């Protein structure tokens, strides 16, 4: 009962950090570690303060009782208001002609990452049954090349044999450019494939020009898809970081904290609920819900079964199989002044960059140093972020000369705009491979839209060193 009340309370009062902390403790007692970590992250400094102190149990019980009383009082008041409005609406409906009921009901219009604490699965209303009721079904996603003839038939063929019954899969459209697929956080949901526990496969095109119809309401699916894409990017970051950590240290990181230490051990640029969920997914022992998701390259590692990040249960977005099966890499195309972040043949991000012409060397490098505010300045010649290439005097960094982007004006380094280099810094772990050459990317337009950003950062400056990169 306490869990139910606390969930309601934090939804009504999301700014109450103490309530988030108490909800996390309840989830922890129920061994729902993934959800507990998410709540602790929302609790912020309250978590650190109370975890390091000894508070009598009766104090917690008294505080929770007060929260429950406040929630119950607000619910009674809300019910009275709703009953009054319902009476008004019913009177108005007496004067309105009846119309056909909508085919699809959308109750998820405001769904965000906060929904993780409210639902064990990402769900949506399915199409109405014959009796008019709408079932709640689990939703998963995938992304496919789109725009080719019979793309929908190809995708449906895959689902016929592999899709679990009782769920719905939304298909996100990736544009294809040559041999590359283009990924971004706002990919449209173009197809939904539902496999009921009983009955035939249901396929719904969500592209009006394709189905020559009014597509079903897609707002809820699109919002769920955004949650999925961000989680998949986090999975790729953690998987890449673990592989490079394992190669450098000869052992698996015991927790996410091992990857997010202060400089120079800042393999990952910080923490977030998505990154915590990703670490739990990739490091959980074989034989659990997603035993195949970690990949063969990680199976030989020593997993720490007691890690606080492990054991995510029930969270469909966190335990779904990883979409990206290759580590993240950076490709620099000198001919086009472009930089792309890729996983295999999928381009996650593309940026316009400044270079140094023949002064920018070609070859294979790795990121060996990630520093914020190089030389103690965020607006200096290296900007707010720097990523050194294989212990050389070359780096990928920001610039105080943004007009040089797209030109050959550096002494050899790769220059980036402020927002771009800060996003790249958050997405590429230490050890990430960097390939510099010519003609190794298609012509890409710089991506716009949402940026990947990590809200909780450790100290990543380096006041003990003056950098002399060939800016």
Classify strands 414-415 and 395-397 as parallel, antiparallel or unpaired: parallel
The Cα 181–Cα 175 span in angstroms is 6
Coil, strand or helix at 451:
coil
HSE value, Cβ hemisphere, 13 Å, CA-based, for 440? 20
pLDDT score for 11: 72
pLDDT score for 93: 37
CA 94, 98, 99, 105 dihedral sign is: positive
The Cα 59–Cα 66 span in angstroms is 11
Alpha helices in 407-468 (DSSP H): 418-427
Count the neighbouring beta carbons within 10 Å of the beta carbon of residue 149.
7
pLDDT tens digits, residue range 346-383? 999 999 999 999 999 999 999 999 999 999 999 999 99
The Cα 123–Cα 125 span in angstroms is 7
Preceding peptide of 455 cis, ω within 30°: no
Cα angle: 350, vertex 352, 353; to 5 degrees: 120
Q: In the chain, what are the helix, strand and coil shares in percent, each to the nearest 5?
A: 35, 20, 45
**Most confidently modeled of 14-23, 36-45, 62-71, 424-433?**
424-433
108 within 8 A of 224, measured Cβ to Cβ:
yes
Active site annotation includes 397: yes
Indicate the angle between helix axes 17-29 and 57-93, nearest 10 degrees. 100
| Candidate from 33-47, 95-109, 399-413 with smallest mean pLDDT | 95-109
pLDDT tops 70 at residue 157:
no
Preceding peptide of 264 cis, ω within 30°: yes
pLDDT score for 241: 97
pLDDT tops 90 at residue 289:
no
For residue 286, what pLDDT band results from cuts at 50, 70 and 90?
low
Give the start-to-end residue ranges of the domains of the chain.
Answer: 2-93, 113-225, 328-437
Catalytic residue among 303, 397, 443, 468: 397
Q: Does domain 328-437 have CATH number 2.40.440.10?
A: yes
240 within 8 A of 126, measured Cβ to Cβ:
no
pLDDT score for 211: 59
Average predicted confidence (pLDDT) for the chain: 75
Coil, strand or helix at 53:
coil
367 within 8 A of 353, measured Cβ to Cβ:
no
Count the neighbouring beta carbons within 10 Å of the beta carbon of residue 109.
9
Q: Can you tell me the mean pLDDT for 28-38?
A: 80
| Candidate from 235-244, 269-278, 332-341 with smallest mean pLDDT | 269-278
pLDDT tops 60 at residue 291:
no
Cut 0.85: pTM above it: no
134 within 8 A of 105, measured Cβ to Cβ:
yes
Active site annotation includes 413: yes
DSSP output for 123-169: EEE-S--TTS---EEEEEEEEEE-SSTTHHHHHHHHHHHHPPTTEEE
Residue 366: DSSP 8-state: E
The Cα 323–Cα 187 span in angstroms is 14
The DSSP bridge partners found for residue 435 are 331, 364
145 within 8 A of 181, measured Cβ to Cβ:
yes
| Candidate from 4-8, 374-378, 417-421 with smallest mean pLDDT | 4-8
| Candidate from 12-16, 131-135, 201-205 with smallest mean pLDDT | 131-135
The Cα 138–Cα 193 span in angstroms is 12
For residue 242, what pLDDT band results from cuts at 50, 70 and 90?
very high
The Cα 417–Cα 402 span in angstroms is 6
Percent of the chain at pLDDT > 70 equals 65
pLDDT score for 95: 40
DSSP output for 66-120: HHHHHHHHHHHHHHHHHHHHHHHHHHHHTTS---PPPS-----TT--GGGGGT-S
The Cα 117–Cα 421 span in angstroms is 32
Catalytic residue among 195, 244, 337, 413: 413
HSE value, Cβ hemisphere, 13 Å, CA-based, for 408? 10
The Cα 291–Cα 321 span in angstroms is 9
Indicate the angle between helix axes 273-283 and 219-249, nearest 10 degrees. 60
């Amino acid at each position: 009962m306490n869990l139910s009340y606390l969930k309601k309370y934090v939804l009504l009062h999301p700014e109450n950090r103490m309530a988030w902390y108490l909800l996390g403790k309840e989830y922890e007692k129920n061994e729902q570690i993934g959800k507990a970590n998410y709540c602790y992250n929302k609790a912020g400094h309250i978590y650190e303060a109370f975890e390091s102190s000894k508070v009598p149990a009766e104090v917690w019980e008294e505080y929770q009782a007060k929260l429950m009383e406040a929630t119950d009082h607000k619910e009674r008041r809300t019910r009275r208001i709703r009953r009054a409005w319902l009476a008004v609406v019913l009177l108005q409906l007496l004067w309105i002609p009846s119309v056909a009921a909508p085919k699809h009901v959308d109750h998820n219009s405001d769904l965000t990452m906060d929904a993780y604490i409210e639902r064990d699965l990402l769900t949506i209303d399915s199409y109405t049954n014959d009796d008019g009721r709408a079932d709640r079904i689990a939703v998963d996603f995938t992304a496919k090349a789109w725009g080719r003839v019979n793309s929908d038939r190809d995708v449906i063929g895959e689902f016929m044999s592999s899709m679990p019954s009782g769920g719905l899969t939304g298909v996100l459209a990736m544009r294809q450019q040559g041999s590359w697929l283009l990924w971004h956080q706002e990919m449209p949901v173009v197809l939904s494939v539902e496999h009921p526990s009983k009955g035939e496969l249901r396929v719904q095109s969500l592209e009006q020009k394709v189905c020559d119809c009014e597509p079903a309401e897609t707002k809820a699916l699109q919002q769920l898809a955004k949650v999925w894409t961000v989680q998949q990017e986090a999975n790729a970051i953690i998987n890449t970081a673990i592989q490079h950590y394992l190669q450098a240290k000869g052992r698996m990181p015991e927790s996410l904290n091992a990857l997010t230490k202060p400089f120079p051990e800042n393999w990952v640029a910080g923490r977030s609920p998505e990154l915590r969920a990703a670490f739990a997914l990739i490091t959980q022992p074989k034989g659990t819900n997603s035993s195949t998701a970690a990949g063969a390259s990680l199976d030989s590692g020593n997993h720490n079964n007691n890690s606080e990040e492990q054991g995510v249960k029930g969270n469909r977005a966190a335990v779904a199989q990883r979409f990206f099966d290759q580590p993240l890499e950076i490709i620099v195309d000198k001919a086009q002044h472009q930089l792309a972040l890729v996983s295999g043949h999928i381009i996650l991000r593309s940026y316009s960059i400044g270079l140094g012409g023949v002064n920018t060397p070609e070859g294979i490098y790795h990121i060996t140093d990630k520093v914020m505010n190089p030389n103690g300045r965020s607006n200096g010649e290296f900007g707010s972020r720097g990523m050194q290439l294989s212990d050389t005097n070359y780096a990928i960094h920001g610039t105080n000369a943004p007009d040089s982007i797209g030109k050959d004006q550096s002494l050899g380094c790769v220059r980036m705009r402020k927002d771009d280099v800060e996003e790249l810094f958050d997405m590429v772990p230490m050890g990430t491979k960097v390939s510099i050459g010519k003609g190794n990317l298609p012509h890409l337009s710089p991506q716009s839209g949402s940026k990947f950003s990590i809200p909780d950062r450790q100290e990543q400056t380096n006041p003990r060193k003056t950098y002399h990169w060939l800016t």
